[in-house]
Chain A
Amino acid sequence: MDIEISHVSKIFSKKEVLKDISLTAREGEILCLLGPSGAGKTTLIRLVTGGLRPDSGEIRIGGQKFPNRETMKRIGFMPQDDAVYSDLSGLDNLLFFGRLFGLSGRGLKQKAEDALGWVDLQKDSRKLVSRYSGGMKKRLSLAVTLLHDPSILLLDEPTVGIDPVLRKSIWDRFEDLRQTGKTIIVSTHVMDEAARCQRAALLYEGCLIENDTTSNLLLKTQSGSLEQLFFSAGKTGDAR
Chain B
Amino acid sequence: MKGLIIRILHQMGNDKRTLALMIIAPILILSLLYLLLGEGNYTPRISVTEDFPSALLTELNKQDVNVTVLGDNTNPVTTSEAQGDSLLKDKKSDAVVNVDTDGIHIRMLVAGSSKAATITSALKNAASAVNPTSSMNFSYVYGRADSTSFNSLGFVLLGVLSFFFVFIISGISFVRERETGTLERLMATPIRRISVVGGYTAGFGILSAIQSTLIVLFSRYVLGMEFEGPVWLAIIIMILLAFTAVSIGAFVSIFANNEFQVMQFIPLIVVPQMFFSGLITIDTLPYGLGNLSYFMPVYYGCSGLEKVMIKGFGIKGVWIDLCMLLVFILVFFILNIFALKKYRKL
Contacts and interface: CB of A to CB of B under 8 A. Distances in A.
Interface of A: 46, 49-51, 53, 67-70, 72-73, 75, 77, 79-89, 92, 95-102, 128, 144
- Closest 4 A-B residue pairs measured CB to CB? A99-B3, A83-B181, A81-B181, A49-B188
Given A81-B180, A83-B181, A83-B182, A100 B344 contact: no
B190 A102 contact: yes
Given A88-B10, A101-B190, A50 B185 contact: no
Given A96-B3, A102-B190, A79 B184 contact: yes
* Best-buried of B3, B185, B191, B343 by chain A (most CB within 10 Å): B185
Contacts of A98: 3
A79 B343 CA distance: 14
A234 B2 CA distance: 51
Nearest to B341: A53
A67 B189 CA distance: 11
Contacts of B345: 53, 67
A88 B7 contact: yes
A87 B184 contact: no
B146 interface: no
A92 B7 contact: yes
Given A67-B346, A87-B11, A100 B184 contact: no
Given A81-B180, A81-B181, A99-B2, A72 B189 contact: yes
B14 interface: yes
Given A72-B190, A83-B184, A98-B3, 19 more contacts: A49-B187, A50-B344, A51-B184, A53-B345, A79-B188, A83-B182, A85-B180, A86-B180, A87-B11, A92-B7, A92-B10, A96-B7, A96-B10, A97-B185, A99-B2, A99-B3, A100-B186, A102-B190, A128-B14
A70 B11 CA distance: 29
Given A53-B345, A82-B181, A96-B7, A88 B14 contact: yes
Contacts of A77: 185, 188
A81 B10 CA distance: 22
Interface of B: 2-4, 6-7, 10-11, 14-15, 180-182, 184-192, 343-346
A53 B345 CA distance: 7
A100 B181 contact: no
Nearest to B179: A81
A87 B180 CA distance: 12
A137 B106 CA distance: 71
A85 B7 contact: yes
B223 to A, nearest CB: 32
Contacts of B191: 100
Contact of A51 (B4, B7, B343): B343
B316 to A, nearest CB: 42
Contact of B188 (A72, A80, A102): A72
9 contacts: A49-B188, A79-B184, A81-B180, A83-B182, A85-B7, A85-B11, A87-B14, A92-B7, A100-B186
B14 A51 contact: no
Determine which residue in B14, B181, B188, B344 has the highest number of CB atoms from chain A within 10 A of its CB, and name it.
B188
B181 A96 contact: no
Contacts of A86: 180
A154 B309 CA distance: 57
B92 to A, nearest CB: 55
Given A50-B344, A85-B182, A100 B189 contact: yes
A75 B185 CA distance: 11
Contacts of A81: 180-181
A50 B193 CA distance: 13
Contacts of B344: 50-51, 67
Contacts of A89: 14
Contacts of B189: 72, 97, 100-101
Residue of A72, A89, A100, A101 with most partner-chain B CB within 10 A: A100
A69 B346 contact: yes
Contact of B3 (A50, A72, A100): A100
Nearest to B177: A85
B180 A83 contact: yes
B188 A51 contact: yes
Determine which residue in B11, B182, B187, B344 has the highest number of CB atoms from chain A within 10 A of its CB, and name it: B182
B249 to A, nearest CB: 18
A88 B8 CA distance: 9
Highest count of chain B CB atoms <10 Å: which of A51, A95, A102: A51
Contacts of B7: 85, 88, 92, 96
Nearest to A93: B7
B346 A80 contact: no
A92 B15 CA distance: 14
B181 A50 contact: no
Given A79-B185, A80-B181, A99-B6, A88 B190 contact: no
A58 B188 CA distance: 18
A68 B345 CA distance: 11
B4 to A, nearest CB: 8
B192 to A, nearest CB: 8
Given A96-B3, A96-B6, A100-B190, A79 B11 contact: no
Residue of B11, B184, B345 contacting most chain A CB atoms (<10 Å)? B184
Of listed B6, B15, B181, B192, residue having the most chain A CB within 10 A: B181
